């Protein structure tokens, strides 16, 4: 599903091979310059929109980490790693176990990505929250930190991974790397290193040890290995920062040197993306959140269905047919007519529109085995008629619902909810969070952990967020 | 120093880009075929020369791991990771601490590479022992295994990493990857997975999770980060096998798929190197061991000096001058005339020849601060006159020593000791081992651990090797 986004976004990113070549000489002191920024940047200097987006990134992350916490993938990871974990230093979202900080960061990172429902930096398709927040929330339990310093580290971590991602995207992603893991380890090391109080030289080494551990290949998509990647990036970034904090050395130019990270791992290197306008341009302000638990290509259709339903108080019984003009990618990627399992539902525009119209949502529950086997939804999906129209962009849809009473309702979407142009509101994010956490932790606890996320800047200890998001032992 | 070997060996490896392209289509079921071999190959079917080389690989590994165990790099790693380690499942060579198996594997892997004095698969410059043996000796302490099964796993691990290395060398190394770490993680996962009794499907997943964690860039050479790489490869391979043993899934074609490891990480893919002649051609039989603790380019000169010394009972007082014809690489890489610290001595042909002639050795002690500051050695190094001769190959030297009594002693080396053509004898390996372990564990313990390595095939528990190589608490 990230691939679907990639297909359209790579072309939109505006980076040409010629431009990349023209700038690959701007490679002086990239690692050092970034490290200097990371150890000096202050919470007080963060623009308000960046702070607000950082808080939303945190809330969305905690929601998806709780939501995924009882998936089979997480059960396996917990069972496999329990015999090897160090002291119970850090908790797991939605669960009662406690592990050493690196093991906890791994498991929470896996949980956060299981449903492919996490945040997205659209320019690179990096999911920034998983690697960074998994690492620093675990660390915050061991080494107390107030909410302002925590939020500053979160933003710096996201900034680091997205800037490094920008420098090598799209070539790096196109060749086969899962960029969330390869860039994510830098973000985790940077954020953790900042909270550990690394010196500039130690931060250079932390980034170097992070560069030595790229995680993840696209071939793993569709297996548990995909969620492994942000989890392992979180743990590897912590590992790098922990060693660097004791003066375990690396090279001073691991990102930009001739035989360093960017040259080894990508045919494009635009170092201005890493060191340009530090403290002025914020990639962290460009984070987005999925409103629906499926590939971005389906979002306009689901959005249209829910809007028509809500505006007209529609029920399935009223509907005669649902006609749509869609971008060709929609049928190429999500053309399954008769999905039999929940996961297959994510690849069926027929199911997605039908369930959205009946249930008014497109969350993980709408892509469950229960949902794809619901007779009412199956009946309605037979009335969904998507038609390809190359004039329709991937972010657009035109929907026309014919009712039994003869009326025809229409809706054109220019940008689906969750895009940069129509961001999820805070209320939308809360609804998504509740939907994910429902049944995993009690409602009162859901309210508490959301409240602590919104008010992270006032917390005396950021670890209070984990305390509220864990399951009682 | 690995770079020095690479320069000459890449050209000799006989792999052309055209040949690589011609075979890149032989990519069917590479991961599955390798996995099937790994779970089925039996100790009983190992040829005698392969078993013998496996034993020598083991002995050499334990020697270098003990030798490096009190280097500052290891002290830092132990101090940094102690607070996070799990139960004391596995010991550290030359030290008294015990850590969980992944942390122990990391530290032992770092120790084994510190002096750049470990084993070398010359076709790829992979140092095979560190990643594989660090992983399975740690595992053997937790999950008892007899010596025969242990040796079988060792050979399979070395086979895996060297075959995968062959498939992408030299392009993969040339672009910047530290191949010991990137290929090593496969070796560690394969060997550990075999000892855990993984099914074929689980082994496929273990290889896939290993593919997701390539470790190490050449830019880190010269820093602690270089030794980090084999250590982290050992730990990451264990991590992959542990998860796979509980059915944490990956793709079935992570090595060969379009967006898999080989295509993402190299411009050359020769899959016949991985799956061709499995159980017949053994890369593990081609392992070599450094007789001298410095770059291979210096080995012919040191070898010549020691031979002339021993054959003629030479003392420094007799020597008037030492003339040598050397390959151009010798002065390019090791032309330092007045080294001031031990490490600099490794880059001085003048020091290397002088200390070899006086002390009759080229071990780590001959490249210490003590050695480079010894007045007698400093005096003699002033009499060393290397002259470049392009007709002299990197593996050759012509040495001519003029004595005060008018005699001239000459020696021409075609292949230095430690090469495939003139392998280290078992007695040579024992001498190297004693030299490394001397002063770290008692002499009686040195004898015991060497005896257990030589007789590994008769051991009821391979963990006895670690027990004898640890320092008493």
* B154 and B52 within one domain: yes
* B389 and B245 within one domain: no
Contact A106, A206 (CB under 8 A): no
For residue A392, give how far its alpha carbon lies from the nearest alpha carbon of chain B (Å): 29
User: CA separation (Å) from A251 to A205, A467, B75, B235?
Assistant: 7, 38, 19, 22
Span of A6-15, B37-46, B166-175, B376-385 with lowest mean pLDDT:
A6-15
What integer pLDDT is reported at residue A300 of this predicted model? 97
Interface contacts A/B by beta carbons within 8 Å: 181
Q: With 80 as the cut, is the pLDDT of residue B323 above it?
A: yes
* A303 and A286 within one domain: no
Produce one character per residue of A100-116: b if its CB has 16 or more CB atoms within 10 Å, e if not: bbbbbbbbbbbbbbbbb
* A319 and A245 within one domain: no
Q: Which domain holds residue B340?
A: 296-413
Instruction: Tell me whether residues B176 and A258 touch, CB distance under 8 A.
Output: yes
In a domain, residue B328? The reply is yes
What integer pLDDT is reported at residue B17 of this predicted model? 36
A463 — contact with chain B (CB < 8 Å)? no
CATH number for A388: 3.30.1330.120
In a domain, residue B334? The reply is yes
* A310 and A242 within one domain: no
What integer pLDDT is reported at residue B24 of this predicted model? 45
Question: Which residues of B fall within a CB distance of 8 Å from A218?
Answer: 259
CATH number for B77: 1.10.4100.10
For residue A234, give how far its alpha carbon lies from the nearest alpha carbon of chain B (Å): 13
* B281 and B252 within one domain: yes
What integer pLDDT is reported at residue A8 of this predicted model? 27
* B218 and B123 within one domain: yes
Please state the separation of Cα B458 from the chain's center in Å.
25
How far is A424 from B473, CA to CA, in rounded Å?
Answer: 59
B313 — contact with chain A (CB < 8 Å)? no
pTM to 2 decimal places: 0.92
Instruction: Tell me whether residues B212 and A225 touch, CB distance under 8 A.
Output: yes
For residue A208, give how far its alpha carbon lies from the nearest alpha carbon of chain B (Å): 8
In a domain, residue B347? The reply is yes
Name the residue of chain A whose CA is nearest to B206's CA: A225
In a domain, residue A174? The reply is yes
Q: In this predicted model, what pLDDT tens digit does every residue of B389-430 receive, in sequence order?
A: 999 998 999 999 999 999 999 999 999 999 999 999 999 999
Question: Which residues of B fall within a CB distance of 8 Å from A205?
Answer: 223, 225
In a domain, residue B45? The reply is yes
* Chain B contacts in chain A segment 219-238 (CB below 8 A): 219-220, 222-225, 228-229, 232
- The string of DSSP codes covering B230-263 is HHHHHHHHHHHHHHHTTT----TTTTTSTTSHHH
In a domain, residue A303? The reply is yes
- Work out the mean pLDDT of chain B and round it to a whole number: 93
Q: With 50 as the cut, is the pLDDT of residue B36 above it?
A: yes
Q: With 80 as the cut, is the pLDDT of residue B21 above it?
A: no
Number of other CB atoms surrounding residue A412 within 10 Å: 13
Angle between helices A225-245 and B72-81 (to 10 degrees): 120
* A111 and A27 within one domain: yes
Instruction: Tell me whether residues A259 and B176 touch, CB distance under 8 A.
Output: yes
Strand B384-388: give its sheet, edge to edge: B384-388, B319-326, B397-403, B408-413
Of A79, A175, A253, the CB nearest to B264: A175
Instruction: Tell me whether residues B213 and A225 touch, CB distance under 8 A.
Output: no
Tell me the helix, strand and coil percentages in chain A, rounded to 5: 60, 10, 30
Instruction: Tell me whether residues A73 and B248 touch, CB distance under 8 A.
Output: yes
A253 — contact with chain B (CB < 8 Å)? yes
Number of other CB atoms surrounding residue A91 within 10 Å: 25
Of A80, A243, A253, the CB nearest to B243: A80
Report percent pLDDT > 90 for chain B: 90
Instruction: Tell me whether residues A217 and B260 touch, CB distance under 8 A.
Output: yes
What integer pLDDT is reported at residue B27 of this predicted model? 82
Number of domains observed in the structure of chain B: 2
* A284 and A302 within one domain: no
Q: In this predicted model, what pLDDT tens digit does every residue of A250-285 receive, in sequence order?
A: 999 999 999 999 999 999 999 999 999 999 999 999
- The structure tokens listed for B1 are 């120093």
* A317 and A263 within one domain: no
In a domain, residue A439? The reply is no
- The string of DSSP codes covering A405-440 is TS-EEEEEESS-TTSSSSPPPHHHHHHHHHHHHBTT
In a domain, residue A47? The reply is yes
Instruction: Tell me whether residues A176 and B259 touch, CB distance under 8 A.
Output: yes
Q: Is cis: bond before B352, omega within 30 of 0?
A: no
Q: With 70 as the cut, is the pLDDT of residue B377 above it?
A: yes
Which residues of chain A are modeled with pLDDT < 70? 1-26
What integer pLDDT is reported at residue A473 of this predicted model? 76
* A131 and A97 within one domain: yes
Produce one character per residue of B79-89: b if its CB has 16 or more CB atoms within 10 Å, e if not: ebbeebbbeeb
For residue B167, give how far its alpha carbon lies from the nearest alpha carbon of chain A (Å): 18
Name the residue of chain A whose CA is nearest to B82's CA: A86
How far is B291 from A127, CA to CA, in rounded Å?
Answer: 49
How far is A435 from A295, CA to CA, in rounded Å?
Answer: 18
Residue B296's pLDDT band, with cuts at 50, 70 and 90, is confident
What integer pLDDT is reported at residue A27 of this predicted model? 82
Question: Which residues of B fall within a CB distance of 8 Å from A135?
Answer: none
For residue A281, give how far its alpha carbon lies from the nearest alpha carbon of chain B (Å): 29
List the single best residue of A209, A220, A221, A266 to mutate versus B (max B Cβ within 10 A).
Answer: A220
How far is A186 from B135, CA to CA, in rounded Å?
Answer: 26
* A69 and A47 within one domain: yes
B111 — contact with chain A (CB < 8 Å)? no
């Amino acid at each position: 599903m990230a691939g679907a986004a990639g297909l359209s976004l790579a072309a939109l990113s505006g980076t040409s091979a010629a431009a990349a070549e023209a700038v690959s000489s701007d490679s002086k002191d990239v690692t050092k310059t970034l490290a200097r920024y990371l150890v000096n940047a202050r919470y007080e200097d963060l623009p308000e929109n960046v702070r607000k987006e950082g808080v939303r990134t945190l809330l969305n992350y905690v929601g998806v980490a709780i939501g995924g916490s009882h998936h089979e993938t997480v059960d396996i990871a917990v069972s496999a790693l329990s015999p090897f974990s160090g002291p119970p230093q850090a908790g797991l979202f939605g669960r009662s176990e406690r592990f050493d900080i690196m093991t906890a960061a791994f498991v929470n990172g896996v949980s956060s990505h299981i449903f492919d429902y996490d945040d997205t930096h659209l320019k690179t398709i990096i999911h920034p929250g998983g690697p960074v927040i998994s690492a620093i929330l675990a660390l915050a339990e061991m080494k107390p930190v107030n909410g302002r310093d925590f939020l500053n580290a979160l933003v710096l971590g996201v900034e680091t991974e997205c800037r490094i991602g920008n420098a090598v995207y799209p070539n790096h992603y196109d060749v086969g790397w899962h960029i969330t893991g390869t860039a994510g380890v830098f973000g985790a090391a940077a954020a953790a290193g900042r909270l550990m109080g690394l010196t500039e030289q130690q931060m250079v080494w932390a980034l170097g040890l992070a560069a030595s551990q790229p995680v993840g290949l696209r071939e793993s998509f569709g297996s548990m290995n995909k969620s492994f990647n942000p989890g392992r990036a979180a743990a590897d970034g912590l590992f790098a920062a922990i060693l660097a904090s004791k003066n375990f050395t690396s090279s001073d130019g691991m990102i930009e040197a001739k035989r360093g990270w960017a040259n080894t791992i990508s045919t494009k290197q635009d170092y201005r993306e890493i060191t340009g306008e530090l403290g002025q341009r914020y990639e962290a302000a460009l984070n987005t959140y999925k409103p629906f638990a499926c590939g971005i290509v389906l979002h306009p259709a689901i959005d249209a269905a829910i809007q028509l339903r809500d505006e007209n108080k529609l029920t399935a019984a009223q509907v005669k047919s649902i006609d749509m003009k869609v971008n060709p990618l929609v049928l190429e990627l999500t053309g399954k007519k008769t999905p039999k399992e929940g996961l297959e539902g994510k690849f069926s525009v027929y199911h997605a529109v039908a369930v959205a119209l009946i249930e008014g949502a497109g969350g993980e529950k709408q892509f469950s085995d229960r949902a794809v086997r619901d007779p009412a939804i199956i009946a309605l999906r037979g009335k969904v008629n998507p038609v390809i129209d190359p004039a329709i962009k991937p972010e657009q849809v035109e929907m026309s619902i014919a009712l039994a009473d003869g009326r025809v309702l229409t809706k054109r979407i220019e940008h689906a909810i969750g895009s940069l142009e129509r961001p999820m509101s805070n209320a939308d994010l809360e609804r998504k969070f509740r939907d994910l956490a429902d049944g995993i932790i009690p409602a009162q606890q859901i309210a508490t952990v959301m409240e602590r996320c919104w008010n992270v800047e006032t917390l005396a200890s950021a670890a209070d967020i984990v305390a509220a998001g864990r399951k009682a032992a």
